[in-house]
Amino acid sequence: MKLFENNEDIIVYNVEKEGISLEEFLFNKEISGRYFRKLYKGKNICVNGEFRMKDYLLKEGDIVSIRLEEEENNISPEPIPLEIIYEDLDLLVINKQPFLVVHPTKGHQTNTISNGISHYFMTKGINRKIRFINRLDMDTSGILLIAKSPFAHQQMALQFENNQVEKRYLVVVSGLVKKDEGTIDLPIGREEEKSIKRIVTSKGKQAITKYKVIERYKDASLLDVQILTGRSHQIRVHLNHIGHPIIGDTLYYKTSEYIKRQALHSYYIKAKLPRSKEEIELKASMPQDIKNLIDVLKSS
């Protein structure tokens, strides 16, 4: 885990090609048009330390810099414990505990992950808004990525949008999954217009889920699941559709006496860091309640 006390931040790029405009240069660095306009309006883009017009032609050896401004965080801080698995100037990554909502809603104004991160930012002097890169349901545990700036959020979100992030989950399902591995390629949509429940439907959006069997028990299986798309409830819907609902999933299956939530844990993500583009692998240890469930299944 890396910690940085200094929240003042500048993104620096070296120019290696003559005759390209400032705007085109940053577009090639995957800075979106919307974010470029925001930076440009605030005069937070410089060439060799000076603000330049967007059509300014760069020379080889020029240094283009982006200044990341401090921001006001309006989420009430609460000292909620966070299991931090990685941190740098751009990202905060935590192993989210189950039973906590990620961000405040009408029904959950306090005791959210956002409140805990706000407290952590305050103690570290990080004056930035909280920007979640991925989302997890209230009762899903595992890897949660938080961007510390609009730059980091935009760069990471682009990877998710382009399906360039490898996301894996540990899932305990009902029944013996016969095939050692398989792919579910079935569209997912809402059951009804205002329903939170999703179903496999020809009117839905494409959703692709891969799975491998890790262990089989008497009447249950432990799976390693990879999602190639990011639809709401994708894993829960797909596994239920093939006859292997997640144990403890009350929305798509039934309650369990051995676990108080769906046995679903986001344990692995592989992506590129927003600044250096270095590939990074992140892992979150399995929570105790899923370990306990597996122990029960092994002994039955």
What lies within 8 Å, CB to CB, of 253 at 6+ separation is 174, 240, 245, 246, 247
Say whether 180 is catalytic.
Answer: no
Place of tokens 């990080």: 126
Which one-letter amino acid corresponds to residue 255? T
Q: Which residue out of 62, 137, 219, 295 is catalytically annotated?
A: 137
Supply the residues annotated as catalytic.
137
